[in-house]
Amino acid sequence: MRRLGIVLMVVVGAVLWPAQAHAVDGWRLVGSDNARPLDEGQGLATVTRGGVTQYRYTGSGTVPADLLFRGWNHVGDPGAAEGWYVEPYQRDDRGGKLFRVQSPTGAWASYTHALESWEATNNSWSAVSPDTQWMVNGEWGTMDRLLVFPMPGVRATNPAQNLPLASRVNLDRPVRDVQGCDFVTATRLLCASDDPAGTLFGTTKPLLQVDLSAPVGASDVTGRVTSLGQLPLKSGCTGSFEVEGIDYYEPDGTLRVIVLSPSVCITIDSKTYRFQR
């Protein structure tokens, strides 16, 4: 009976899997890779320099020792465009936000942002605009905004100076627990939400699409938010999944999203899912 139960479970999983994949509107699930929670559990980005493509991941185990020593103990979902790469960091106090930036030449620099009085301390993710002039950033919780900064290293070039807030993306409806966003075009973002309640869009853990009224810049723009459906939640364990970072790689049209498995399965079958249109 035990062997039959295992076979039935595999068959049922095979039947249900395509239906779950089609729940993400406009995107076809094409595969997955195991995601290691310690060094691949927060986010990911694709960086191309000199014709060489690198797949970068962040996790609790990738925080540099010097930043950890200075109190920057959490890294979020990184962003990249045109050879630029940004990692967002936060700390447990209201000491601001830090963005660790690598230029197309490979040089590193760290830029800090002093929090506005109304700004959340969470530095969950960074997305670099396709023209590399601006960086969009997100906070944790239920939010009606995204934050826009001058791209550190491009429009803001002095790491010793405060990285100022440039503008906001005012969302037409609130979003909850967004763990990562990435640009698909200059006026469209895709975002991975870890929303555990499902009351905002009718489903938990949705893939969100944000259509902008204009490219981000020094002036506020509006963002129209649409849910594309629930991201894959598949594991040998039951319990709470955690949706993490997201990456869109324009040259081959691949969208990747990290989903960490519940309980002890976090080290066994957490996945980076790959989608294409």
Task: Give the tokens for residue 77.
Answer: 């979902």
CB 227 within 8 A of CB 237: no
How far is residue 147's CA from residue 127's CA, in Å, rounded to a whole number?
10
- List pLDDT tens digits, range 136-188: 999 999 999 999 999 999 999 999 999 999 999 999 999 999 999 999 999 99
Phi then psi for 85, rounded to 5 degrees? -140, 130
The model's pTM is: 0.92
The pLDDT of residue 224 is above 70: yes
Cα–Cα separations (whole angstroms), residue 271 to 34, 62, 259, 274:
5, 18, 5, 9
Residue whose C-alpha is closest to residue 273's, from 29, 43, 59, 77: 29
How far is residue 153's CA from residue 106's CA, in Å, rounded to a whole number?
12
Q: pLDDT band at residue 10, thresholds of 50, 70 and 90?
A: very low
Q: How many CB atoms lie within 10 A of CB 142?
A: 14
What is the rounded average pLDDT for all residues in the chain? Answer: 92
In the predicted model, what is the mean pLDDT of residues 240-264? 97
- List pLDDT tens digits, range 255-277: 999 999 999 999 999 999 999 99
> What pLDDT is attached to residue 101?
98
- List pLDDT tens digits, range 51-89: 999 999 999 999 999 999 999 999 999 999 999 999 999
Domain ranges for the chain: 2-276
How far is residue 90's CA from residue 124's CA, in Å, rounded to a whole number?
8
How far is residue 111's CA from residue 34's CA, in Å, rounded to a whole number?
32
CATH architecture of the region 2-276 = 6 Propeller (2.120)
**How buried is 219 (Cβ within 10 angstroms: 0-12 exposed, 13-18 middle, 19+ buried)?**
exposed
The pLDDT of residue 11 is above 60: no
How far is residue 277's CA from residue 274's CA, in Å, rounded to a whole number?
11
Residues in the chain: 277
The CA angle 222-205-59, to the nearest 5 degrees, is 95
> What pLDDT is attached to residue 15?
32
Q: pLDDT band at residue 23, thresholds of 50, 70 and 90?
A: low
> What pLDDT is attached to residue 83?
97
Number of C-alpha atoms within 13 angstroms, CB side, residue 170? Answer: 5
CB 168 within 8 A of CB 219: no
Dihedral angle sign, alpha carbons of residues 261, 266, 269, 273: positive
Task: Give the tokens for residue 60.
Answer: 């609790």
The pLDDT of residue 46 is above 90: yes
The pLDDT of residue 45 is above 70: yes
